[in-house]
Amino acid sequence: MAVLPLSRMGAEILKKRALEVTDFADPALPALVHDMVETMDAAHGVGLAAPQVGVSQRVVLFYVPAQRNGGAEVPLTLMINPVIEPTGPDQAEDWEACLSVPGLTGRVPRWTAIRYTFQDIKGQTQVREAKDFHARVVQHECDHLDGVLYPMRMTDMASLAFGDVLQAEAKARGQVLELDEEGVLPE
């Protein structure tokens, strides 16, 4: 299969609501998923939505590394036509980055606990719950399906910054600032 080019902020496909998947027998669907996995791995991301690779379909994949999730890894998950609902009133603000907004990072408020419903590759409905970083990843990736990038969710644009600038300024102060593979400040 192939590593696909990533759409970047400003691309029309990232501004629109993606189309529902209705034909689970379409052979293009597993091919798309395979290419998305290869693309996400090549870009060192933890999630990817179909619009990010130029495809207007409600398809998302993600995984949550154990070190970002209190020691509990969430394996690679494919979600088709996902729906999210918060399961409590709490939100938290934390750093996010995005493969479609390369080099930048910013603080984004998100629900801390959610329930998400989706269809798997066979069209079967799945329901899961998530909290903290797991919930953040799901919300971030599903936003792509509605034409929303994380800077649009930020409440304080003063935190939007290039990761390398944050590192350079920390170094000038005699501090070490480690960013993860996506350019996000560690929690």
Q: Which residues are catalytic?
A: 141
Instruction: Assign 136 to helix, strand or coil.
Output: helix
Q: How far apart are the first and last CA of the chain?
A: 35
User: What residues contact residue 24 under an 8 Å CB cut-off, 6+ apart?
Assistant: 80, 119, 121, 122, 123
Instruction: Assign 10 to helix, strand or coil.
Output: coil
Tell which residue, 21, 19, 53, 20, has the closest CA to residue 34: 53
| Phi and psi, residue 97, nearest 5° | -140, 175
